[in-house]
Amino acid sequence: MKKLGFIGFLLAIILGGIYYYIALPAINIHSPGLWGFIISIVLILEVIVLYYFKRKSLVRKIYSIFCGLVLVFYGVGWVLSSPIVNARKYCELINIEERNFVDDIKEVSYNEIPSLDKDSAEKLGLRKMGTMGDLVSQFEVNNMYSQINYQNKPVRVTPLNYGNLFKWLSNRKNGIPAYLKIDMTTQDVECVKLEDGIKYSTSEPFNRNIYRYLRFRYPTYIFDNLSFEIDDNGVPVWICPVKDYTIGLYGGVKIDKVIIVNAINGEHKTYNIDEVPNWVDRVYSAELLISYYDYYGTLRGGFLNSILGQKGCLETTDGYNYIALEDDVWVYTGITSVAGDESNVGFVLMNQRTAETRYYAISGAEEYSAMASAEGQVQHLGYRATFPLLLNISNQPTYFMALKDSAGLVKNYAMVNISKYQIVAVGSSIQECEENYIRLINSNGMEVSKESTKEISGVIEKISEVIVEGNSHYFIKLAGVEQLFDVDILGNIKILSYGVGSNIVFEYNEGSSYNVVKKIK
């Protein structure tokens, strides 16, 4: 019997070791993974104790007390870590500063607007991989596609993976030879080949797996989501944020430090959160940042209010996107009432490197309402809108989105005014979409950017009437000026009194192929 009991406990130790090697829990009392590990061991031992020891034996009694203490400790720890007794502490996980939209978010020209979401980037990546005959038979594309700022451009980067275990065996000595870099404005995809391959990745099955590599060197650290980035020299690295639980045992997650691992040679360095290099973009995950605001928005009136009266309770909308701002990547999401209406009271930008949070009090359409409004413009084609990107177009907070067909290919682009989401412009290119949008803003008498408004005078050399989206417009050409000027008759009825040879003075907004007249003087 004793021999069988020893074999049972030895089996428990072996199974525990296998579990640890696969699940990689941190040896840290705050780690949910450790508690899963402990509970798994407890259950295995429970089977052994029940099988080998009599009901009233001392071993059973001691083990029952031990199990009870584990459950009590875990349960009490959970309660003391929860928002039920720590509502104020959860509210203080972030500091929110109210800012001015126009001051912070500058206008960008159409050729600087990121036009790709992750799904589109994945399709481009797969298409590019299919053309790489020397790689496609051995490797496949990882679906990370991290959005970063690289040399002041928004790009998505992702490593390659080994195709399978046998292809890993064939290639592990030299490592993964390349990563993909996708320009989000031009949609150019570059397969960046490396002189020395990536040795530390998520597709390594054993000790060079980046998660296992980190765990064996930092056994007590609790890691948040890892991200793949490239430094200013294009060297692939892993950004590994380390969690710190600041409320009780399991609550109030913050990022305490960051470990940067060179994906090629495994060199690693630890930085305190306030020392992270500026080129790093993704320290705080979007999900973590959004949870911060949700705690703040729902709990600032107390836990009971968040459940019962819900007075003044706000939450983030269902979805988010990224904005390149001040050489950092910021998470954008709208803010709405917990009552579930279809409008936003404002939106927040949250810095993924520093967790700085900015609130902008701009009421208007909730993102999915704007998406539906854009889809309504092309309902006969059945296109679906991507989650919006927030832009400043002529000083107007504007939703920008791509419109895709059933195959997931981008066919059109749409801009929707946040305050007046019935103002929707669609174009087959970003340039055309932006010009149509500015024209709609002008015709609706809305204020546009003073910086982009210019004045010109001259003699009309040519003038032609055209119909644009059911409305009459005049396109005029001034003597000595190359570009055309578009005049919407509804907003500028004075144009009817002008003809070839007339002197004219007007204000206009610059476009890439033609300019939009705002006001005839």
| Shared domain check, 158 and 127 | yes
- The amino acid present at 341, given as its one-letter code, is D
| Shared domain check, 127 and 223 | yes
pLDDT digits (tens, 9 = 90+) for 398-418: 999 999 998 888 899 999 999
Beta-ladder partners of 124: none
351 inside domain:
no
CATH number for the domain including 507?
2.40.50.140
The boundaries of the domain holding residue 73 are 2-81
pLDDT digits (tens, 9 = 90+) for 80-129: 899 999 999 999 999 999 999 888 888 776 667 788 888 889 989 999 98
Residue whose C-alpha is closest to residue 107's, from 437, 444, 493, 475:
437
| Shared domain check, 237 and 270 | yes
User: 50-59, 167-176, 415-424, 436-445: which range is least confident on average?
Assistant: 50-59
* Residue-level pLDDT at 447: 61
Q: State mean pLDDT over 371-393.
A: 92
- Kindly tell me if the per-residue pLDDT of 278 is higher than 70: yes
How many domains does the structure of the chain reveal?
4
Long-range contacts of residues 467-472, Cβ cutoff 8 Å, at least 24 apart: 468/436, 468/439, 469/436, 471/443
Whole-Å CA distances, 483 to 229, 328, 508: 42, 36, 12
Q: What is the largest CA-CA distance in the chain?
A: 111
Whole-Å CA distances, 128 to 51, 122, 326: 58, 10, 30
Q: State mean pLDDT over 237-261.
A: 95
Q: How far apart are CA 35 and CA 32, in angstroms?
A: 5
**Owner of token pair 């032609």:** 464
- Mean pLDDT (the chain) is 88
Q: How far apart are CA 427 and CA 400, in angstroms?
A: 11
Q: State mean pLDDT over 423-427.
A: 93
| Shared domain check, 432 and 404 | yes
Q: How far apart are CA 495 and CA 515, in angstroms?
A: 15
* Residue-level pLDDT at 496: 86
Q: Of 275, 308, 332, which one is at a domain's C-terminal end? A: 275
Task: Tell me, rounded to whole angstroms, the distance of Cα 235 from its chain centroid.
Answer: 22
pLDDT digits (tens, 9 = 90+) for 437-488: 988 887 777 765 555 678 899 999 999 888 765 677 888 999 988 888 888 8
Q: Of 391, 409, 443, which one is at a domain's C-terminal end? A: 443
Q: Of 275, 307, 332, which one is at a domain's C-terminal end? A: 275
102 inside domain:
no
Burial 33-47 (b: 16+ CB within 10 A, else e): bbbebbebbeebbee
Q: How far apart are CA 55 and CA 61, in angstroms?
A: 8
What element of type H or E holds 477?
Answer: strand 471-478
| Shared domain check, 251 and 137 | yes
